[in-house]
Amino acid sequence: MSNVRNSAARSPVPDDLVHAALRVSRARDTPVGDVPLIAVAEEAGISRSTLMRRLGGTRQALDDAVRASGVDPTGQKPVRLRAVASAGALISEHGLAAITLERVAERAGCSVHSLYATFGGRNELLHATYETYSPAVDVEALLAAPRDNLPDTVRAIYRLLVEAIQREPRVLPAMFADALSHPGDPTVVSLHQHYFPRMLNGIGQWLTDEIAAGRIRDIPLIPLIQQLTGPAIFHFLMRPVNEHLPEAQLPTTEETIEIFTQAFLRAVARS
């Protein structure tokens, strides 16, 4: 709702009318642009003539205000979804340096103003894109539930990691490439600063609990996380290249996950 309020402050259309139009649109399951003005007026508790007077005499003003709030009145996917998909495709094709709000807006079919209203800025858009295409949210959900079987949990983490690496557009590999080639880049640093605490609270807390339960050895947390994820990340990042080498004779994805699972357990599990 705050996005609507902020955009309305820059629009002649009062925010209560934007809210009313959005409520009717949701209730009728129809695009805002197809909602009759009389229905908007009834939802806002005013007459149609009063509504038109507050809109400055034109329906276009309401549609423009709704669009500025991040909702396309024609029924397209919300600006957030289109922008994240467009940013993901640009990152996959050209890397983080290609991401400007202007390029994302052009690809998403929206205005730069809509991106600011929806995300607040470029870094916030990149955070949303990373969260969409990385395994972070899924891993957090996995580890939020009680996990007593260490091998099964490790396998599940690897499956989520592999899915994120192989997913199109290939956002995660592109971000790893940028992190390795430009470690001091402000965008890379911003993403790391945003997600490093989450990694510690997610995988880090789970590993800490496993240490406390006596299932794995007491190893410093960062090397332990790297022991878990590093070998698998390297393998699956390089797998598309190695698949073109006949002599590589790669095991299947599931066989590879089992290899890394057993290797991790042999390295850290208490016997």
Please give the C-alpha separations between residue 231 and each of 55, 109, 161, 253, 256, in angstroms, as whole numbers: 60, 40, 12, 14, 11
Q: Is the pLDDT of residue 4 over 50?
A: no
Name the CATH code of domain 134-268 (choices 1.10.357.10, 1.10.10.10, 3.40.50.410, 1.20.58.100): 1.10.357.10
Tell me 175's DSSP state: H
| % of the chain beyond a pLDDT of 70 | 96
The answer to whether residue 185 scores a pLDDT higher than 80 is yes
Range(s) within the chain of domains with CATH label 1.10.357.10: 134-268
CATH architecture of structural domain 79-120? Orthogonal Bundle (1.10)
Domain with CATH 1.10.10.60 in the chain: 79-120
Confidence of residue 6 (pLDDT cuts 50, 70, 90): very low
Which of 7-11, 70-74, 182-186 has maximum average pLDDT?
182-186
CA distance 269 to 248: 30
Name which of 105, 111, 97, 269 is nearest 177 in CA terms.
97
Across 26-55, average pLDDT: 88
**Conformation bin of residue 95: beta by default, left when phi > 0, alpha when psi is -120 to 50:** left
Sign of CA dihedral 255, 260, 266, 269: negative
Judged on CB neighbours under 10 Å (0-12, 13-18, 19+), 145 is exposed
Which pLDDT value is given to residue 159? 97
φ, ψ of residue 12 to 5 degrees: the values are -70, -10
pLDDT tens string 196-242: 888 888 999 999 999 999 999 999 999 999 999 999 999 999 999 98
**What is the C-alpha to C-alpha distance for residues 211 and 213, in angstroms, rounded to an integer?**
5
80 near 70, Cβ under 8 Å? yes
Per the model's pLDDT, the better-predicted residue between 69 and 4 turns out to be 69
